[in-house]
């Protein structure tokens, strides 16, 4: 089993190039199912979740050529519409094949999903969306079985609460439907915007992109055709994570290939904590500060503060000048990193969905364990500033979402080594 060994206390300096966004790449990989011609995807992050999604398409019968950050996918040869448990259990995002398989092949069977253990993330809203488009859905032996023998029909989909995956599945299901679909209370994340733009490139017509009301004019069963390559947007969570690494170590580091608009909330919260930035068109440099100020954070849907960044900010807040508060409103089990940060010398108290981070003068290395993807990156950030050596186990969580993390950190002066037990 691999683990990371991090010797803390070193200043960082240099540049990091941000990889493509994992969460966007997963959706656009699923969307290739809507085409019966080859599609080339570029700037994919080379992480486990992407390889898992490509493996799922291969098991459905698609031809996949994958080389680092580029994948050529041909879904004309798909001969199965069953997404099996062995793959879906590894990664929750596998549920994203539900909409495109159903839309193109009029039936599918998708195992109930797995993934990070950060709380109940039911797929009832995904089911509601395809049912609104005329699908009949049943559950059989742990699988969602959806059928629409006469094809899907455009309709109004109203989400009771904002759901990123549900919006993505609804978009892909509606893309080949007969008629017009409206999605009310749609998610507005940059990953949703990229998926809408991709569907438009392929011949569907999506209006209202970037708003909570999306209108999709379906192709009435005609597969999409992508005449241009699809380039994955930069990963805003990876960018935020490395900004936090620069913040906690009080280091000057530059990130390249960044979409500044996508990380505005991260930038503004770091500015509240006393950090200043040099910002260019697609690069950002964080400047060190003598004193890290307290911060209060409430997670919410985009464009609010992302739940995927609260663990990293919690790590930075451990060395602030006063007590910080973080309220997690999206997932109920997303404070599992607290006990591990406390092992490093943090002083964090929990009450319900609120964490109080009391400042400490220093962190000290210890053996800790990653519990989910973003929690693992918070441990890395804390370890970079801790005295001595930290050993982080269960880093398979980290490998699901961070492309070449130890290589990128080592390049800017961190002492990070991957080892095996």
Q: Would you say 89 and 114 are in contact if contact means Cβ atoms under 8 Å apart?
A: yes
User: Which residue's entry shows tokens 């441990």?
Assistant: 379
Catalytic positions, please? Answer: 116
Average pLDDT of the chain to the nearest whole number:
95
pLDDT value for 372:
87
- The Cα–Cα gap between 160 and 166 comes to 11
Number of helices followed by number of strands (H, E) in the chain? 14, 24
pTM of the prediction?
Answer: 0.95
Answer yes or no: is pLDDT of 120 > 50.
no
- The Cα–Cα gap between 356 and 351 comes to 8
**27-34: average pLDDT:** 98
190-206 confidence digits (pLDDT tens): 999 999 999 999 999 99
Q: Helix (H, G, I), strand (E, B), or coil: what is residue 273?
A: coil
Q: Helix (H, G, I), strand (E, B), or coil: what is residue 109?
A: strand
Read off the DSSP letter of residue 326. E
80-118 confidence digits (pLDDT tens): 999 998 888 888 888 999 999 999 999 999 988 754 333
Angle, helix 164-175 to helix 190-202, in steps of 10 degrees: 10
Question: Where residue 79 falls among pLDDT bands split at 50, 70, 90?
Answer: very high
- The Cα–Cα gap between 394 and 368 comes to 9
pLDDT value for 197:
98
- The Cα–Cα gap between 398 and 396 comes to 5
- The Cα–Cα gap between 163 and 273 comes to 30
pLDDT value for 3:
96
Q: Would you say 348 and 342 are in contact if contact means Cβ atoms under 8 Å apart?
A: yes
278-334 confidence digits (pLDDT tens): 999 999 999 999 999 999 999 999 999 999 999 999 999 999 999 999 999 887 667
pLDDT value for 59:
97
Answer yes or no: is pLDDT of 30 > 60.
yes
pLDDT above 90 covers what percent of the chain?
Answer: 88
């Amino acid at each position: 089993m691999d683990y990371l060994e991090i010797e803390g206390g070193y200043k960082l300096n240099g540049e990091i190039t941000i990889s493509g966004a994992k969460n966007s790449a997963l959706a656009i990989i699923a969307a290739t199912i809507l085409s019966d011609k080859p599609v080339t995807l570029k700037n994919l992050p080379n992480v486990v979740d992407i390889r898992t999604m490509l493996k799922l398409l291969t098991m459905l019968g698609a031809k996949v050529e994958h080389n680092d950050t580029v994948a050529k996918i041909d879904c004309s040869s798909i001969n199965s519409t069953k997404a099996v448990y062995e793959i879906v259990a590894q990664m929750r995002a596998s549920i994203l094949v539900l909409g495109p398989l159903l839309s193109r092949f009029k039936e599918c069977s998708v195992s109930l999903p797995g993934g990070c253990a950060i709380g109940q993330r039911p797929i009832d809203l995904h089911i509601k969306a395809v049912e609104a488009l005329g699908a009949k859905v049943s559950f059989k032996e742990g699988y969602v079985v959806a059928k629409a023998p006469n094809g899907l029909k455009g309709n109004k989909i109203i989400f009771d609460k904002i759901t990123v995956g549900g919006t993505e599945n609804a978009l892909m299901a509606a893309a080949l439907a007969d008629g017009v679909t409206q999605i009310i209370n749609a998610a507005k994340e940059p990953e949703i915007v990229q998926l809408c733009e991709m569907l438009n490139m392929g011949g569907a017509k999506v209006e209202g992109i970037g708003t909570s009301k999306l209108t999709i004019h379906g192709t009435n069963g005609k597969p999409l055709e992508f005449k241009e390559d699809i380039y994955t947007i930069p990963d805003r969570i990876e960018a935020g994570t490395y900004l936090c690494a620069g913040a906690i170590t009080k280091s000057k580091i530059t990130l390249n290939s960044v979409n500044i608009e996508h990380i505005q909330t991260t930038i503004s919260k770091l500015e509240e904590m006393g950090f200043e930035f040099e910002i260019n068109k697609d690069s950002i440099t964080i400047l060190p500060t003598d004193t890290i100020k307290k911060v209060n954070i409430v997670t919410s849907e985009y464009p609010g503060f992302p739940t995927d960044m609260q663990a990293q900010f919690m790590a930075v807040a451990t060395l602030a000048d006063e007590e910080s508060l973080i309220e997690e409103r999206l997932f109920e089990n997303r404070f599992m990193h607290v006990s591990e940060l406390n092992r490093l010398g943090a002083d964090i108290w929990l009450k319900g969905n609120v964490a109080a981070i009391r400042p400490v003068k220093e962190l000290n290395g210890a053996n800790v364990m990653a519990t989910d993807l973003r929690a693992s990156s918070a441990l890395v950030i804390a370890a970079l500033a801790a005295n001595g050596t930290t050993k982080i186990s269960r880093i398979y969580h980290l490998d699901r979402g961070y492309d070449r993390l130890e290589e990128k950190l080592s390049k800017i002066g961190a002492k990070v080594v991957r080892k095996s037990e």
